Amino acid sequence: MPDTALPAPASLPTAEDVRAAARRIAGHAVRTPLLESPLLNDRLGGRLLVKAEALQKTGSFKFRGAFNTVRQIADAGVQAVVAYSSGNHAQGVAAAARLCGVRATILMPADAPAIKLANTRAWGAEVVTYRRGREDREAIGARMAADRQAVLVKPYDDPRIIAGQGTVGLEIVEQASALGLVPDAVLVCCGGGGLASGTALAIRAGWPDVPVYAVEPDGYDDHVRSLAMGRRTGHQATEPTVCDALMSALPGEVTFALNQDLLAGAVTVSDDAVLGTMATAFETLKLVMEPGGAVAAAAIMAGRHPIGGRTVIAVNSGGNVDAAMFARALARGPLL
Amino acid sequence: MPDTALPAPASLPTAEDVRAAARRIAGHAVRTPLLESPLLNDRLGGRLLVKAEALQKTGSFKFRGAFNTVRQIADAGVQAVVAYSSGNHAQGVAAAARLCGVRATILMPADAPAIKLANTRAWGAEVVTYRRGREDREAIGARMAADRQAVLVKPYDDPRIIAGQGTVGLEIVEQASALGLVPDAVLVCCGGGGLASGTALAIRAGWPDVPVYAVEPDGYDDHVRSLAMGRRTGHQATEPTVCDALMSALPGEVTFALNQDLLAGAVTVSDDAVLGTMATAFETLKLVMEPGGAVAAAAIMAGRHPIGGRTVIAVNSGGNVDAAMFARALARGPLL
């Protein structure tokens, strides 16, 4: 899936690129807290810490990679960017563009959550919608970029994006170390693999012995399949999932080159477990998780990854969820 | 309202007592973040930062004062405490007692939110219920204390409690200073006045020129009345409010002695504004606020305290809300 608006990555990002990204986003991105609930830990029989990227600017981790990338694009003298996204990358790029003083045009699926469409516009971006599954967003994105003399900011398959998302992992290492703890595992929500690869890069640089796992929705198991096959392999899902942020068809080229080396594995969780985890997070952590942002914690709560007696850090990737979907999670009730 | 189980306070707490409390709770209480949403700020036409005590251990600021007090009681060799509370002080005392290795018995209204009753028990406390408005909780609490050779931990009218809650204000000064800002005002949720007086003590020690305002639910305006009258004056409310945490009848003796000097004023907000603020906080801050925990932010969002062009810090006091009440807030929709 090469495109002409960006040069092909010369090399894979490194842990030093993540540190450079951390310096670039400092003062712009939120250093999000690691949250935990002693009562939830009692119920789990282990210790769960949640890296709360719902509290990040724009409500998801996507601002980190977007700012790290748009800042560099703007510094190179480019005055416009385009992006395609189901919603969180859209808001991240829109916010980064506003802060860097460049124009942003974002291509979004017409059925994206209303909050994601509204907030992308509120950040000052022009929003163009397309029909998910019926139009080729990458082709439309490339054409929009050419029309507008703009640079395409990919959602995940770019070393600058990956390095930016990796600051999540860097902060986890710093924050856990300040608490005097080294976790037994780190679990990361996974769509195209940008957050997973960046986080794994930083985690394994800081803690070479700590395994990092990707978590996907049941059916959308392209990382499970790809890690098993040793090559990028698509999922076979035909039904939608509540995890609108995690519906990408295939691991990225750059992200998978990293993830193949860095990840200890991948697991999946059901939509019901995701909704139950959102309700548990509401009750115990007081955090609003969006469905796609709840899969890593759901893997712990649903027992897909054993925690008994151990300490696990789960990344919550975002909190941009419509009230109706959140009410559905509350009506379902806590998983644990 | 003297009781025999605790000596009367010899003197009012000072800013130095707040600093001592901060040292005592360090490593036990969460240093909660100051949250903000640029999109919410756009809508407000000002800058609102929210001190998110929903993310505190036990889901409210009450853990701070409870731990500061129970730690001192336990260090004096006492092995049991009792408390009366609508729910947040209950959980704070239960958690503090568990951490300090003393027994806790908590008197709670039978109609307290289910989450507050369940969590108080989950922290290991014995819970005794009474009928709100029909039984005298202070008399029952004093009797329970005598029966159990236990020390009563009052919900607010104790210098140790006030000093503990004041660590909210101390952290606000430190965190805002780290951001390079001094707010134009600080707004605090107010029931018995413990959080308001402690926070005001620390805020005015750090920023002598920054006014601190208490915020109450419409009808439960005992601080508005008391500040106007220059003496402790009860409210006239007969209808319940959604703000179960803020239904105390009268300012405390110790708290009002401080608040009378330290507060710049008090305002009230409607239940509807509270529910709308909870929905706005869900959408923009990704934070779960309970009704009583939303009144300070509601005063800003509903225009009861003008923010145009200014920077205001509102304390969110907690997030212990049942799913049904939160669903009601979501159904009401964002105030702003």
Contact: A39, B287; criterion CB under 8 Å: no
Q: Is A52 helix (H, G, I), strand (E, B) or coil?
A: strand
Two structure tokens written together for B206: 């750090």
Between the CA atoms of A8, A10, A15 and A17, what dihedral angle is there, to the nearest 10 degrees? -80
Two structure tokens written together for A22: 């951390």
pLDDT for residue B7 is more than 50 = no
Contact: B287, A282; criterion CB under 8 Å: no
Give the pLDDT confidence score for residue A120 in this predicted structure.
95
Give the pLDDT confidence score for residue B136 in this predicted structure.
87
Give how far B115 is from chain A: nearest CA, Å: 8
Q: Residue A327: which of B38, B59, B327 has the nearest Cβ? A: B327
pLDDT for residue A115 is more than 60 = yes
Tell me where in chain B the CATH 3.40.50.1100 domain(s) lie: 15-61+161-332, 62-156
CB half-sphere exposure, A153, CA atoms < 13 A: 40
Look up residue A248 and give its amino acid: S
Q: Is A236 helix (H, G, I), strand (E, B) or coil?
A: coil
Contact: A286, B33; criterion CB under 8 Å: no
Residue B135 phi/psi, 5-degree rounding, is -130, 150
- In 3D, which of B115, B80, B116 has the Cα closest to residue B101? B80
Residue contacts between A and B (CB atoms, under 8 Å): 64
Percent of chain B at pLDDT exceeding 90 = 88
Q: Residue A279: which of B39, B119, B323 has the nearest Cβ? A: B323
Give the pLDDT confidence score for residue B10 in this predicted structure.
52
Which residue does chain B place closest to A281, by CA atoms? Answer: B288
Give the pLDDT confidence score for residue A283 in this predicted structure.
97
CA A89 to chain CA centroid, nearest Å? 9
Any A CB within 8 A of B323 CB: yes
d(CA A201, CA A16): 10
Give the pLDDT confidence score for residue A132 in this predicted structure.
82
Name which of A63-67, A149-153, B36-40, B139-143 the model is least confident about.
B139-143
- In 3D, which of A167, A184, A217, A197 has the Cα closest to residue A51? A167
d(CA A264, CA B263): 56
Contact: B283, A39; criterion CB under 8 Å: no
Q: pTM (2 decimals)? A: 0.95
In b/e form, how buried is each residue of A79-96, taking b as 16+ CB within 10 angstroms?
A: ebbbbbbbbbbbbbbbbb
Q: CB neighbours (10 Å) of residue B11? A: 8
If one compares A291 and B5, the residue with the highest pLDDT of the two is: A291
pLDDT for residue A3 is more than 70 = no
- ipTM value greater than 0.90: yes
Fold classified for B62-156: Rossmann fold (3.40.50)
Sequence-distant (6+) residues with CB within 8 A of B27 are none
Contact: A55, B33; criterion CB under 8 Å: yes
Give how far B250 is from chain A: nearest CA, Å: 29
Strands (E), chain B: 34-35, 47-52, 80-84, 103-109, 126-130, 151-152, 185-189, 212-217, 265-269, 311-316
- In 3D, which of B271, B265, B56, B256 has the Cα closest to residue B164? B56
pLDDT for residue A4 is more than 50 = no
- Inter-axis angle of helices A167-178 and A15-25, to 10 degrees? 90
Give how far B61 is from chain A: nearest CA, Å: 13
Contact: B286, A59; criterion CB under 8 Å: yes
pLDDT for residue B216 is more than 60 = yes
Which residue does chain A place closest to B321, by CA atoms? Answer: A283
Which residue does chain A place closest to B290, by CA atoms? Answer: A286
Which residue does chain A place closest to B327, by CA atoms? Answer: A327
The CATH code belonging to domain B15-61+161-332 is 3.40.50.1100
Query: B284-299, pLDDT tens digit by residue?
Result: 999 999 999 999 999 9
- In 3D, which of A169, A187, A324 has the Cα closest to residue A244? A324
Q: Residue A287: which of B119, B288, B323 has the nearest Cβ? A: B288
Mean pLDDT of A165-190: 98
Any A CB within 8 A of B49 CB: no
Give the pLDDT confidence score for residue A137 in this predicted structure.
84
- The sign of the torsion formed by the CA atoms of A225, A321, A57, A119 equals positive
Query: B185-206, pLDDT tens digit by residue?
Result: 999 999 999 999 999 999 999 9
Sequence-distant (6+) residues with CB within 8 A of B222 are B216, B232, B233, B234, B235, B248, B249, B250, B251
Q: Residue A288: which of B59, B119, B282 has the nearest Cβ? A: B282
Which residue does chain A place closest to B27, by CA atoms? Answer: A179
- In 3D, which of B269, B85, B250 has the Cα closest to residue B161? B85
Percent of chain A at pLDDT exceeding 90 = 88
Percent of chain B at pLDDT exceeding 70 = 97
Any B CB within 8 A of A95 CB: yes
Two structure tokens written together for A145: 């970029």
d(CA A317, CA A245): 10
Query: B259-272, pLDDT tens digit by residue?
Result: 999 999 999 999 99
Query: B14-32, pLDDT tens digit by residue?
Result: 999 999 999 999 999 999 9
Strand partners, B127: B106
Mean pLDDT of B219-226: 97
Q: What is the mean pLDDT of chain A?
A: 94
Tell me where in chain A the CATH 3.40.50.1100 domain(s) lie: 15-61+161-332, 63-156
Q: Where does the pLDDT of residue A10 fall: very low under 50, low under 70, confident under 90, or very high at 90 and above? A: low
Give the pLDDT confidence score for residue B15 in this predicted structure.
97
Give how far B330 is from chain A: nearest CA, Å: 6
Task: State the best of A42, A117, A283 to mutate against chain B, taking most chain B CBs within 10 Å.
Answer: A283
Any B CB within 8 A of A309 CB: no
Q: What is the mean pLDDT of chain B?
A: 94
Give the pLDDT confidence score for residue A307 in this predicted structure.
95
Contact: B330, A327; criterion CB under 8 Å: yes
Spell out which residues of chain A touch residue B35, defining contact as CB-CB under 8 Å. Answer: 55
**In sequence order, what DSSP letters do the residues of B88-136 get, joined into one string?**
HHHHHHHHHHHHHT-EEEEEEETTS-HHHHHHHHHTT-EEEEE-TTTS-
Look up residue A316 and give its amino acid: N
Q: CB neighbours (10 Å) of residue B6? A: 18
Q: Does domain A63-156 have CATH number 3.40.50.1100?
A: yes
d(CA A75, CA A67): 12
Spell out which residues of chain A touch residue B27, defining contact as CB-CB under 8 Å. Answer: none
Any B CB within 8 A of A59 CB: yes
Two structure tokens written together for B59: 């889901």
Q: Where does the pLDDT of residue B319 fall: very low under 50, low under 70, confident under 90, or very high at 90 and above? A: very high
Any B CB within 8 A of A122 CB: yes
Spell out which residues of chain B touch residue A50, defining contact as CB-CB under 8 Å. Answer: none
Look up residue B312 and give its amino acid: V
Residue B48 phi/psi, 5-degree rounding, is -115, 125
Q: Residue A286: which of B59, B330, B333 has the nearest Cβ? A: B59
Under DSSP, the state recorded for A58 is G
Percent of chain A at pLDDT exceeding 70 = 97
CB B107 within 8 A of CB B140: yes
Contact: A55, B39; criterion CB under 8 Å: no
Any B CB within 8 A of A39 CB: yes
